[in-house]
Structure 1
Amino acid sequence: MLETHHSVVTDVLSCLEGIAKEGVAPSQAHGRVNAVRSRHPAASIELIWDDQAFDGSRHYDALIRPPGFQGTVSLSVCHDDALPWPLRGLQPWRDSELLRVNGIVMPVENAIRHLDLLWQRKPLMRRLIDSCLIEAELERRQIEVDEAEVQTAVNDLRRRRGLLTAADTHAWLAESGMSMQGLTDLAGRLARAAKLREIVVGEDVERYLESHCDEFDVINTRVLQTPDARAARQLTDAVREGSRSFLHVAEDAVFSDSSGRTQFFYRKELRHRLAARMPEDSLSFSAGDLFGPLDEGDECLVIDVVSVEPAMGNPHLRGAVVTRLFESWLREQRQKARIEWFWGPNRATQAAR
C-alpha cells in the first residue's frame, strides 16, 4: 500500500515540475494530469491553480487522495526563480492607483475625472482638510480611549446605519469591503475625535448657550426641490396668494415632472443652519412661513415651515452646540494651516479654507 501511495505522489510531483517549469496554460495542464490519472485510476487527483496579481504568474497545486489513504495530500512546486511563497496572494500597488474592484484598477487621474464636481463641493474638501487637522491634534494631545468608549462608538455607527442585527452588520461589512477590525479601528478614531471636541470646546458650551440657545431651535420643514426656476416661482406665488396649499402645489409639481428630478420631502433644520441659507432679514421662523425660491446649485428650493421646537429641553442640544463650536475652531485652524493639494486645480482648492 505504501508503495502505491509513493508511486502516485511521485508521478504527480513529476507532472507538476514539468507544468511549473514550462508555464503551460490550464487546458494543457489538465491534459497532463489526465495522463497521470489514467496510470492511477484508483486515486483521486485534482488540479487547482491561482493567478498571481503580484507578477502575473500562475501557480498550480495538486490535491491527491491515494487509494486506502485517510486524508488528502497537497502538492505544489516553486522553482528558484518563481514568485517566493511569502509574496503569493499579494496585490501590486502604485502611488498612481486609487481603487481596485475585481482586479480592475482605477488610477487617481481617472478618479479625478469622475469626481470633477468635487471642486464645486466645498464641504467635502473641507472634511478632508479637517480630518488631517484632527489627526494632528489627536497626536499632539496624545488622546486615548478605552474599550468601553470604542464599543459605544461602534454601537453608534451601527445604529446610525440601521445595522440593528449581527447579520445586517456582517452584510454591510462584506458590501463595503471592511473587516470587523476595520470597523473597530474606525470607531476608535471617532471616539478619540469625540473626546477631542469635548477637550477643545467643552468649557465654552454653557456660556455659549446662555446667549445663543434659541439658535438651536428645531425647524420642521416641508421642501419642494425642482430644477425649473420659473415653475418654482409660479408655485410659490400661488401658495402666497392663497389659491392653493403648499401640499397640493408640491404634489402636482412632482407628478408633472417627467424627468423625475422634482422632489418633495420633509427635513429638520437647526434655526441657525436654516437662517444661513435665507435672506439676511429671515432670522425668525414660525409655523406657516414660506421661503423661496432659493437657489441651491442647479436646483431651486421652496421651503414651508411646519412647526418650531424650542431648543431648551432638547436632549440633543448640548451635542449640537459642541459641534458648532468645534466647527468654528476647525475654521480657525484651516485659516492658519499650510495646505498642499497634490491633485486638482490649485486655485479652486483655496476655497476649501
Structure 2
Amino acid sequence: MIRWRKGEVAEIRREWPGAVELLVTLQGEQGARVRALAYPALVGRPEPGDVVLLNTTALAMGLGTGGYAMVVAVPDRLPPDPEGPGHLVKARYTPMQATVLGADEQDSPHHELLREADSLDGMPVVVADLHSALPAILCGLYAAFPGERPKVAYVMLDGGALPAWFSMAAARLRELDWLCGVITVGQAFGGDVEAVTTHTGLLAARRVLGADVAVVAQGPGNLGTGTRWGFSGVAAGEAVNAAAVLGGRPVAALRVSEGDKRERHIGVSHHSLTAYGRVALARATVPVPRLPGAFGERVAAQAAELAGRHDLVEVPLDGLEEALRGSPVKLSSMGRSLDEDAACFLASAAAGRLTASLLESAP
C-alpha cells in the first residue's frame, strides 16, 4: 500500500505558504533524485543534508497532481511538540493524523458564534467539481467588480488533497486577497479556518470570515473510476444540499471540456450530470455558458437534462476570456491550459459572472 524510501535532501527548489519542494537523492538507488514535498507544520522544515523518510507511492503510480515523494519525517531532527488548544483530529487514525483547532469546537473563540448558527442569510455558494475551477470562477466574478470586490471564501472539501498547503493557487489567491480565507472541512486540514463538516464550513465562511460568497470544491487532485457513482465529485451534489438547507443560494458550476480525450467528459461531464442531476436534492441555479457552434449546442442540450430539477440560466461569455487571461495564477485543469481547453475555464467563469449578478440584485 505504501512505498517507503529514505533519501538525503540535495536542495530546496521552491516554497510557498505551508509547503516546501525539495530535490532528494534516494538511498541505494544509484543516486536517483526525486521531487519531494514537505509540510513544515507536520514534519518540520527539511534542510539540505537532512535524511528524510519518504512515501513514494504517488511517484510509482505516475500520478500527475500528486507526482511528488511525500516527506513523512525528518528522523534526526524532529519538530517540537505542538502547543495551544485544538481537539479536532484530521486524517484520523492514519500515521499522519494531526490535531487542529476547529472553528466549531468548544475551545474555539468562534464556538458561541457557530453553536446555534443556522443560516447563510442568502449568501451565494458556488459549487464546482474540480479545484481548477476556483481561479476561473473568481475571474468571472471579479470582472463584474472593477472597484471594491466582494469577499470570497474557499471551502475545501476532502475529495482531493487533504492538506490545503498543497495548493499553490489557493496560497497565491490568499496572498493577493482574492480569497478572504480558506476553510478546510471533513478530513481536509491546513486552512485559515478548520471545520468539521461542509455545513459548519459554510457557516464559518459567513459568520467568521464575513464572506459575501463561498466557493466549494475539492482540493487539488480528484478520484474517479470511470463508473457512474465512483468519483469524488459526487460531493458537489451534497454541497448543493448543504448550501440550500442553510439558506444559501447554491450555484452549480458545470464541468465542461472540449479537450478531454474521454467521451464521458466531452461537453458537460457526466460528473456534473450525476452530482447535480441525481445527488443534489435541493434546487440550484445552473449557469450554462453560451459557447459557439455545434459544441455549444451540445453543451446546452446536455445541460437541459437538469431542467426541471434546477434553474438553468444561459450566460453570455463576452469579455470572460480576457478576464481569464488576467488570472493571477496559472489556469490548468487535468493538465490542459486555457488555450488547450478554453470551454473548461469559460464555464467556470460563467458561474462567477452569474454569481456577480446575484450579488448585484440582492436587496
Name the TM-score, length of structure 1 as normaliser. Answer: 0.20
Structure with the greater alpha carbon radius of gyration: 1
Which of the pair has the greater relative contact order for Cα pairs under 8 Å at 6+ separation? 2
Name the TM-score, length of structure 2 as normaliser. Answer: 0.20
